Structure 1
Amino acid sequence: MCGITGLFAFNEIGRMQAIHMHKATEVIAHRGPNASDVYSSHFVHLGHRRLSIIDLSEGANQPMHDASGRYTIVFNGEIYNYQEIKEQLKNKGVNFVTSSDTEVLLYAYIHYGKECINLFHGFFGFAIYDNEDNSLFIARDRMGIKPLLYSIDEDKVVFGSEMISLLQFGIEKEVDPTSIFQLLQLTYIPTPDSVFKNIKKLPQGHYMFIKGKEVSIEPYYQLKKQCISPLNLTYEEAQEELLKVMDASIKERMVSDVPLGAFLSGGIDSSAVVAMASKHTEQLQTFSIGYKDEPLFDETHYAELVAKKYNTDHTAFKLTPDDFYNHLFGMLDSYAEPFADASALAVNILCRETKKKVTVALSGDGADEMFAGYNKHLGEWKSRNQGILAKVIKAGLPLLKQLPQSRNSALGNKFRQAIKFGEGLKLSPQERYWFQCCWRDTETTRSLLSLDFKKQIDESAFLQRKAQLTQHINGEGINDVLFSDLDGLLVNDMLHKVDSMSMLNSLEVRVPFLDHRVVEFAMRLPSEYKIHGNMKKRILQDAFKPLLPEELYKRPKHGFEVPLMNGYKTALRSWVNEMLDKDFVANQGVFDVNYTESLKNTIFNSSNYDQNQVWSILVLQNWWKKYNPSLNKA
């Protein structure tokens, strides 16, 4: 895993931006501390930072060229089946000079063209330049595990693994108010848009092809089209097949020339990965994170049960609130686009500590989105199959709203969930899905904004973006919700969080559940195999039950929550005051000053608020101060 960046100039004006190539490469040094280089021709320039995983020799450094010198590649990711593809290419007469997957990818493109992508098992963002016909091929993996951003104007195309690279090329930092509006509702800005009007994210399963001055972006993989025909398997047969496809995926992801371990939260997903990975190595190293002073959020006991069962070399990091506060600002400073999932704080520390022992870690990400593991999935199933409980909650909603709501207490969180469930019952399936995705509903979000900023939101664009995120919802079964989560929540929140935090710490994270063959298998299963009654992730739980400690099945699911509320009042108080300073807010022009003044009072004198809603505002304000973007005030 690495970091890439590049420039394709259309003219001499665009070519002048090549003076920024080394800086654009250097600012992503955290993604690849082992080697760095830049390739330059007249109009095309490619930069690479290397985190060595496969073939640690200097010969595998990038940018890499083919034997003729015609083709040049920069590549971020891993191709797990590269040995198989390598044998096919050898039969075509290719002589390889390294044992890297990069060289295999390069020659696969030379021999198969754009269709080479369909051969790859893995995750990637790469660019290949053909200097004879002056073309550049850029691609992002099927599931969007690896990021790729770009900017196009009349003089050039620039691209990279992170937005910070693109900003080195002098791109105007003009804020997209509609994106900010989305951020404050979702905690992230969905693909293909970004916080800046002239920077976009290449969607998962897409490629960009540039030749001369022509630029095209096309899909090469669409998950839903791969899952049209349902699988005709009994529930028992489906369980057996799930174990087979997962074992194959994990086995592929165990290949590494550097130390490899696994995250182990104590939940079903990561425990399942550890159970299978342990079969393919002598002693797996595992890592978990917990909270010394917050038993509601601490799950290390369950992780230790799994570690003991499989005799892993286990390390549990027990954190205090000060651990979060001490690493908070370094993490925030790494965001070139505001991102407000607070659990990134914990993921950052987990990755930092894990990196001290291994360079590659397996993760259970993706299972919740494929197998219906979130509380909102159970809520949606109950909304579509209304029983007595749904009717009682709907009737009692006015009373429930009077009760304290908080993610920081078990009872308060139950009240919060019940209220959100009751409010959702009033809505259509599409509107309910959007409501469940949002941490703050649309009209509430609008109410905290300044009058001028509200005028700048493109309402038509907002509705189009919302429709894109809800396009799969049809109100039948639960798979429509899962397709939507895979397209939206997973790519823009979960995978972005893991990539940004792991690469900030030069750690590669592999996600076996997101092998495209596993995903296609899961999404062709009937909804009732995934959720039924009060059981979420039904088939995943049942298939792995013989392999996991019984105690894991008697515990509630916890998210990767981070205790922040007390910090707002104590260690972070001065920062909160700075971010919500009256003069700063007024000059910035995003929020209603009366709202932010009231919010400060609530934060410092109450506990009856959602810490994550506050976090999204503080993250945006911190980013704004760092990047000082332009905003066309009405």
Structure 2
Amino acid sequence: MPGLCGALGAAECDIDRLREGLRWSGRERVFDHAAGDVAVSVAVNDGFGDQPARTDDGELVWLWGDVYGVESPSGYTAFSGLERDRPARTVADLYGRYGLDVVERLNGTFAAVVSDPDAGCVHLVTDRMGSHPLYVAGERGVAVSSHVQSLAAATDAEFEETYLPEFFTTGRVSGCRTPFAGIDEVPPSSVLTVDVETGDTAVRRYWTPRYRPVDRSFSAFVDEFVETFRTVCADYLRDDRRYGVLLSGGSDSRLVLAAAADHDTTAYHLSDWMSDEAGTAERSALAADCPFVWLKRGPDHHRECLVENPSMMPFYGRFDQAHTAGFNDRLREEVDVVVSGLYADVLFKGATLPTAVADFGPLGTLTLPVERSVDSVEAYVDRAVQSLPPYLDVPMTMRETFEANVRETVRGIDHHGVVYPSMRELVSLREFYPMSNDPDLFYYGLTQSMPHWTPFLDNRMIDLALRLPVKYQLRRDIVNTAIERLAPDLAAIPHASTDVSLDRPYPLHFVGRYLTSMRRQRRDTAPDVPYYGHRPWVHGPELLRHDRFAIESLLANRDVVEALPFLDWDGVLETYRRHAEGENFYWELFMLVGFLEMPAVRALAGIEPTSTGVVPSRGVDIDLTSGDAR
């Protein structure tokens, strides 16, 4: 799979075992380098230049990901197509001008390694958001990999049970921590420097996200948003590339479609049936005069995901969230770059902000577009913690772990090794800074599958988002308004979740979301499948109650469960039974099923690392009242 790995200094790690993690699909181009006590390998998608690239002074540069442009004293310069196709070479050329300071000038989504033989050190570099994670382990030397499973297996790591409650209940381990003792993630927007001789490390943070809302009109923000988005897209899109927009029935990907429609662009929609969402996506593609391709998932989609995805999973997100699984080969054949609208909702729509909830008793609850105050570390911890699932047997609760790892310091609030300047940044940014805090495998899955681009992660869009007041994030929709400016025909099409056209005011969308939800519950238009709905993804809790893939996978992996001291087999059956009877352990069960299929987990449990993902037998008789299955 695309990524980086290396053994630096006296690292107690076999580089060949690390390299195994870079070969997932078999399509990667892998470049190996070894000189003295520095061995580095990089795997890239097709079409990128050879690595490492050498500077005039002899430094070596490896890069995984993409770079779009650079800030200089005279302003921002977008890279040409050739410069983007050879990112390591481009960065090496700039290194000669700016030295290591080039990293704070770069605009892109990437991780890099720079070896300086004369200085006897190696620099590990992450981009602003940590979109391409790097993990490190070792005391005398340092082993590094973008693939934490390979690093854990190659270093014979042990599970750090302290962090498992958060992983199994939320789908992530916060900050720089991982589920493994002695393995940490390199912080976002940082340079970790390794002294090759001594193994000593030092971290320098070159950028800190600071939320600084500007008091000006919403219209002025829309003007800047439209101009910035136009510029970002004009800088990136090329006439010699075929683009595939992952199009939903919402507005974020529709804005991307509006920008890309004048190029060689095809719209793709993934779903299980031709739902309202799929119909809206098709209508949007037709309005943009773009070909529309429906990628229809089959009935065994989740079983197939259990075969394809666990080997590349980074211990954040669910196995089914690499949404292009099953279609990657087709997408690679039909387009050169896949384009997504990811992260517009968290950057510009306050999707992860805590909001007030009105309780109407038997009528239900109503989420209000008003931020709920979280003004202290204690209040934050109270909101973040969750109870443990019955199958998890560990010495610390999630609350105890958070109380020990979230604390105020002179630099700000330290959250599992990542420091936020204040409570404002912690509350606003924690769900996606670093991006491994986002319990969603979608973006990382794309990095492992094919060349892709997410325009909202451009530095210029992030800078704008950090100036947008909360009131505009929660009670306006800057993306809808931008589409109205850029593509009125697309704005006239209703949003699939509200049934209100994008050119209508936000209050109508707020009301429309609830009315549409109630209307869909009363009309019978979905296929006779209890977990199908009008969203792009199936209803997970009902899927677990009606499809046996999860319990069959759990039964097939009973030996893994019983080999790990923190898992309890009777608790596994209890969790599944209680969910089947109406409680909601959907997230905890999905996390467990994917976890048990990961090769690193199986290896550390002493179980042969072969996938059991698709269990052919659907006739297993299961007695959930005991530990037996017949």
Q: Residues 540, 87 of structure 1: CA spacing in aligned structure 2 closer, same or farther, 3 A cutoff?
A: closer
Task: Decide whether the 8 Å contact of 2:109 with 2:457 is kept in 1.
Answer: no
Q: Residues 462, 150 of structure 1: CA spacing in aligned structure 2 closer, same or farther, 3 A cutoff?
A: farther
Task: Decide whether the 8 Å contact of 2:63 with 2:111 is kept in 1.
Answer: yes
Alpha-carbon separation, structure 2, partners of 1:86 and 1:588: 57
Q: 2:405 aligns with which of 461, 464, 469?
A: 464
Alpha-carbon separation, structure 2, partners of 1:237 and 1:573: 50
Alpha-carbon separation, structure 1, partners of 2:571 and 2:302: 27
Name the aligned partner's letter for residue 204 of structure 1: P
Structure 1 position 314, deviation (Å): 2.2
Q: 1:614 aligns with which of 589, 597, 611?
A: 589
The answer to whether structure 1 residue 550 and structure 2 residue 528 are counterparts is: no
SS of alignment partner, residue 189 of structure 1: coil
The answer to whether structure 1 residue 162 and structure 2 residue 147 are counterparts is: yes
Q: Residues 465, 579 of structure 1: CA spacing in aligned structure 2 closer, same or farther, 3 A cutoff?
A: farther
Q: 1:51 aligns with which of 33, 42, 45?
A: 45
Name the aligned partner's letter for residue 4 of structure 1: L
Alpha-carbon separation, structure 1, partners of 2:307 and 2:322: 10
Q: Paired residue for 1:117? A: 103
SS of alignment partner, residue 485 of structure 1: coil
Structural mapping, 1:231-242, within 5 Å: 231-242=214-225
Alpha-carbon separation, structure 2, partners of 1:242 and 1:87: 19
The answer to whether structure 1 residue 520 and structure 2 residue 494 are counterparts is: no
Q: Paired residue for 1:72? A: 60
Alpha-carbon separation, structure 2, partners of 1:573 and 1:182: 21
The answer to whether structure 1 residue 178 and structure 2 residue 162 are counterparts is: yes
Q: Residues 616, 234 of structure 1: CA spacing in aligned structure 2 closer, same or farther, 3 A cutoff?
A: same
The answer to whether structure 1 residue 370 and structure 2 residue 347 are counterparts is: yes
The answer to whether structure 1 residue 145 and structure 2 residue 140 are counterparts is: no
Q: Residues 309, 88 of structure 1: CA spacing in aligned structure 2 closer, same or farther, 3 A cutoff?
A: closer
Q: Paired residue for 2:182? A: 198
Alpha-carbon separation, structure 2, partners of 1:462 and 1:539: 37
Larger helix share, 1 or 2: 1
Structure 1 position 302, deviation (Å): 1.5
Q: Paired residue for 1:358? A: 335
RMSD (Å) for aligned C-alpha atoms? 3.8
Structural mapping, 1:113-512, within 5 Å: 113-154=99-140, 156-167=141-152, 170-211=154-195, 212-213=197-198, 214-224=200-210, 227-228=211-212, 230-255=213-238, 259-279=242-262, 281=263, 283-292=264-273, 295=275, 299-335=277-313, 337-341=314-318, 343-349=320-326, 351-374=328-351, 377=353, 380-382=354-356, 390=358, 392-393=359-360, 396=361, 441-442=385-386, 444-445=387-388, 448-450=391-393, 453-454=394-395, 459=400, 463-465=404-406, 468-469=414-415, 481-487=427-433, 490-493=435-438, 497-505=441-449, 507-512=450-455
Q: 2:50 aligns with which of 61, 70, 85?
A: 61
Alpha-carbon separation, structure 2, partners of 1:80 and 1:182: 35
Q: Which moved more, 1:342-351 or 1:107-116?
A: 342-351
Name the aligned partner's letter for residue 405 of structure 2: Q
SS of alignment partner, residue 270 of structure 2: strand
5+ long unaligned stretches in structure 2: 408-412, 499-512, 514-533, 607-630
Alpha-carbon separation, structure 2, partners of 1:600 and 1:63: 49
Q: Residues 5, 597 of structure 1: CA spacing in aligned structure 2 closer, same or farther, 3 A cutoff?
A: closer
Q: Residues 243, 4 of structure 1: CA spacing in aligned structure 2 closer, same or farther, 3 A cutoff?
A: same
SS of alignment partner, residue 325 of structure 1: helix
5+ long unaligned stretches in structure 1: 55-59, 90-95, 384-389, 401-414
SS of alignment partner, residue 216 of structure 1: strand
Name the aligned partner's letter for residue 311 of structure 2: D
The answer to whether structure 1 residue 572 and structure 2 residue 553 are counterparts is: no
Name the aligned partner's letter for residue 487 of structure 1: Y
Alpha-carbon separation, structure 2, partners of 1:78 and 1:6: 20
SS of alignment partner, residue 471 of structure 2: helix
Structure 1 position 210, deviation (Å): 2.1
Identity of aligned residues (%): 16
Corresponding pairs, count: 552
Alpha-carbon separation, structure 2, partners of 1:464 and 1:51: 37
Q: Paired residue for 1:9? A: 9
Task: Decide whether the 8 Å contact of 2:310 with 2:595 is kept in 1.
Answer: no
Task: Decide whether the 8 Å contact of 1:305 with 1:549 is kept in 2.
Answer: no
Q: Residues 117, 587 of structure 1: CA spacing in aligned structure 2 closer, same or farther, 3 A cutoff?
A: closer
Q: Residues 627, 258 of structure 1: CA spacing in aligned structure 2 closer, same or farther, 3 A cutoff?
A: farther
Q: Residues 67, 99 of structure 1: CA spacing in aligned structure 2 closer, same or farther, 3 A cutoff?
A: farther
Structure 1 position 608, deviation (Å): 4.5
Deviations 1:150-187 (CA, angstroms, capped at 9, x unpaired): 11312x1111221244246x312200112211102211
Q: Paired residue for 1:81? A: 69
Q: Residues 219, 350 of structure 1: CA spacing in aligned structure 2 closer, same or farther, 3 A cutoff?
A: farther
Alpha-carbon separation, structure 2, partners of 1:480 and 1:458: 17
Alpha-carbon separation, structure 2, partners of 1:88 and 1:31: 36
Larger strand share, 1 or 2: 2
Alpha-carbon separation, structure 2, partners of 1:208 and 1:3: 17
Alpha-carbon separation, structure 2, partners of 1:369 and 1:97: 30
Task: Decide whether the 8 Å contact of 1:64 with 1:73 is kept in 2.
Answer: yes
SS of alignment partner, residue 438 of structure 2: helix
Deviations 1:461-482 (CA, angstroms, capped at 9, x unpaired): 6531487459869888xx7633
Task: Decide whether the 8 Å contact of 1:262 with 1:363 is kept in 2.
Answer: yes
Q: Paired residue for 1:412? A: none
Task: Decide whether the 8 Å contact of 1:568 with 1:576 is kept in 2.
Answer: no
Structure 1 position 115, deviation (Å): 0.9
Q: Normalising by the residue count of structure 2, what TM-score does the alignment of the two structures yield?
A: 0.77
Task: Decide whether the 8 Å contact of 1:290 with 1:318 is kept in 2.
Answer: yes
Structure 1 position 338, deviation (Å): 3.6
Deviations 1:387-417 (CA, angstroms, capped at 9, x unpaired): xxx2x44xx3xx68xxxxxxxxxxxxxx5x7
Name the aligned partner's letter for residue 142 of structure 2: V
Structure 1 position 567, deviation (Å): 5.3
Q: Normalising by the residue count of structure 1, what TM-score does the alignment of the two structures yield?
A: 0.76
Q: Paired residue for 2:90? A: 104
Alpha-carbon separation, structure 2, partners of 1:266 and 1:317: 14
Task: Decide whether the 8 Å contact of 1:125 with 1:139 is kept in 2.
Answer: yes
Q: Residues 475, 138 of structure 1: CA spacing in aligned structure 2 closer, same or farther, 3 A cutoff?
A: closer
Alpha-carbon separation, structure 2, partners of 1:425 and 1:595: 35
Deviations 1:313-332 (CA, angstroms, capped at 9, x unpaired): 22111223322322322212
Name the aligned partner's letter for residue 143 of structure 1: M
Q: Residues 84, 266 of structure 1: CA spacing in aligned structure 2 closer, same or farther, 3 A cutoff?
A: farther
Name the aligned partner's letter for residue 161 of structure 2: P
Task: Decide whether the 8 Å contact of 1:370 with 1:486 is kept in 2.
Answer: no
